[in-house]
């Protein structure tokens, strides 16, 4: 399997397991987070390093990761970054770019 195929497969599995997309209208609790955000939740620092290595191999640029409970979150901020991730990874047909752009997206399961 070529290196880029392994990177895509690895990131697909992460997104399918624990990835989700947030938009401004989905945030609540009295705060407003403008724009789009995609989050990958990883189990530990080793998985975070592997995910970032796969992203670098594919030319994807995530935001700075942060701890959340006993996991780590790798975010992608902005509509273009989120679209690029979805176009590159193509998460098993559960989330197409057309569906995403129209705003009919849902949490991957």
**Does 83 reside within a domain?**
yes
Tell me the CA distances in angstroms from 82 to 2, 44, 45, 63, 77, one per residue in order: 24, 23, 22, 11, 7
- For residue 32, being part of any structural domain is answered with yes
What is the span of the domain harbouring residue 22?
Answer: 3-89
The pLDDT of residue 102: 45
Residues of the chain with pLDDT below 50 are 26, 96-99, 101-109
According to the model, what pLDDT value does residue 31 have? 56
Domain count, the chain: 1
Shortest CA distance to 82 belongs to which of 7, 13, 1, 19?
A: 19
Residue range 28-42, pLDDT digits in tens: 555 555 688 999 999
What are the residues facing 72 on neighbouring strands?
42, 67
């Amino acid at each position: 399997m070529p290196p880029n195929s392994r990177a895509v497969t690895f990131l697909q599995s992460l997104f399918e397991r624990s990835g989700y997309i947030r938009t401004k209208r989905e945030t609540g609790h009295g705060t407003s987070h403008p724009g789009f955000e995609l989050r990958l939740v990883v189990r530990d620092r080793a998985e975070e390093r592997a995910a970032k290595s796969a992203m670098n191999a594919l030319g994807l640029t995530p935001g700075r990761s942060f701890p959340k409970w006993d996991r780590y979150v790798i975010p992608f901020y902005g509509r273009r970054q989120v679209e690029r991730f979805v176009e590159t990874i193509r998460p098993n047909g559960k989330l197409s770019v057309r569906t995403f752009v129209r705003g009919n997206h849902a949490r991957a399961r």
